[in-house]
Amino acid sequence: MNNKLTLGIFGFGVVGQGLYDIIKTKNLNLAIKKFVIKHPEKKRSLPAELFTTDAKAVLNDPEINTVVELIDDAAAAFDIVAAALKAGKNVVSANKKMIATHLKELVDIQHQHGTSLLYEGAVCGSIPIIRNLEEYYDNELLHSISGIFNGSSNYILSKIFNDNLAYDTALRQAQDLGFAETDPTLDVGGFDAKFKLAIVASHAYGLYIAPENILNIGIDKLSTSDIQFANEKNLKIKLVPTAREINDKDVILYVLPKLVSAENILYNVENEYNGVLVKAAFADEQFFYGKGAGGHPTGSAVLSDIAALRYGYRYEYKKHIDAGSLGYSTDWEITVYLRYDDEKIIEKLEFTSISERYYAQDFKYVIGKISLAKIFENRDAINRNGVFIAEIG
């Protein structure tokens, strides 16, 4: 079975262009019929008849059997993807926010309409983590999945810890290189990593958890004191999303900065690279490392999905069907470093134990144990200038 694919592609940005670059080098059984774009006035490198601004030109064209969705706007992307799946077309998307937010609905639509939605490019660019969770670790007992899922914030942290750049300088450099958006909150605030974590957790544990119920605190409140603290202890700070099965009933999910030592495999993941660490009962520690963003790495993941559609590939969502017994929990203690300005927050957070305290006029911190639920409850009080939290260990 090698079905000829006729593609309609929404978006012609960096990933769309990357995809086009890849497809033209290959003798694949597929053709791009139409790109749907928003700005017809922009100069394009391809013939004008390939472009349209009308979504219906793709969605209503029976010859187009495969839709590739590569636009930024998550709400518009959902409408396109849902409509395409309902119209009997298979879909490839790289829109992590859209997928994380609507996953259950999208799975239901796939089942109702017998269509397939693939989204490897949405999670850690070229790293084939979804495919491996679906196909290869489908019978494994997965203790945890964690890693570095956001290239922009990792680039900034690398520049801070390896080249002694200030946070603002590193952020500007990341923006100049196209790794970070003009409004970088999605990246440095840990939202992008959280969307990816939600998708990963779904394929690892069969859970649909709405992103708003998952804790994410980013690296944007990092101060020179925090950096000095880490440096003195030969640690680096990384932004780490974590999914962990804490017992045979409960899974925890959170995104927090983390102080990591040289023994941690994430310590050496630098710049725009991503890494995914899978800990499993039998396979033990597996680590996947590669470029997490950029037109070509993401384009290559999107192309792998497109190629798989030629053979009728679909995610089985076996863990959603089989298990059903795992639930989502925030009842779990972690050890954190917390820099703060005002004692009140220490009371609020109800540390269950404190192992270190440091006071100076312009730098106060505690190290102690605290429940995820308490951090989540007080996330607005933590996520402001004057406070920085990072997991330890």
Q: List active site positions.
A: 196
Q: Which is nearer to a second copy, 121 or 190 (CB)?
A: 121
- Contact residues: a second copy, CB under 8 A: 18, 21-22, 25-26, 28, 126-128, 131-132, 135-141, 265, 268, 280-291, 294, 296-297, 299-301, 303-304, 307-308
Least spacing, CB of residue 194 vs a second copy, in Å:
24
Rounded Cα–Cα distance for residues 206 and 318 (Å): 8
Rounded Cα–Cα distance for residues 149 and 153 (Å): 9
Amino acid at 150: N
User: Which tokens go with 354?
Assistant: 């404190």
Rounded Cα–Cα distance for residues 187 and 15 (Å): 18
Q: Which is nearer to a second copy, 131 or 339 (CB)?
A: 131
Q: Report the chain's C-alpha Rg in angstroms.
A: 22
Q: Which is nearer to a second copy, 59 or 133 (CB)?
A: 133
User: Which tokens go with 74?
Assistant: 């998550």
Q: Cβ(237)–Cβ(222) under 8 Å?
A: yes
Q: Determine phi and psi for 108, rounding to 5 degrees.
A: -60, -45
Q: Cβ(157)–Cβ(169) under 8 Å?
A: no
Contacts of 78 (CB under 8 A, 6+ apart): 98, 101, 102
Which helix (H) or strand (E) segment holds residue 61: the answer is none
Q: Cβ(301)–Cβ(94) under 8 Å?
A: yes
Q: Which is nearer to a second copy, 30 or 259 (CB)?
A: 30
Q: Which is nearer to a second copy, 119 or 229 (CB)?
A: 119
Which helix (H) or strand (E) segment holds residue 21: the answer is helix 14-24
Q: Cβ(11)–Cβ(73) under 8 Å?
A: no
Q: Which is nearer to a second copy, 31 or 281 (CB)?
A: 281
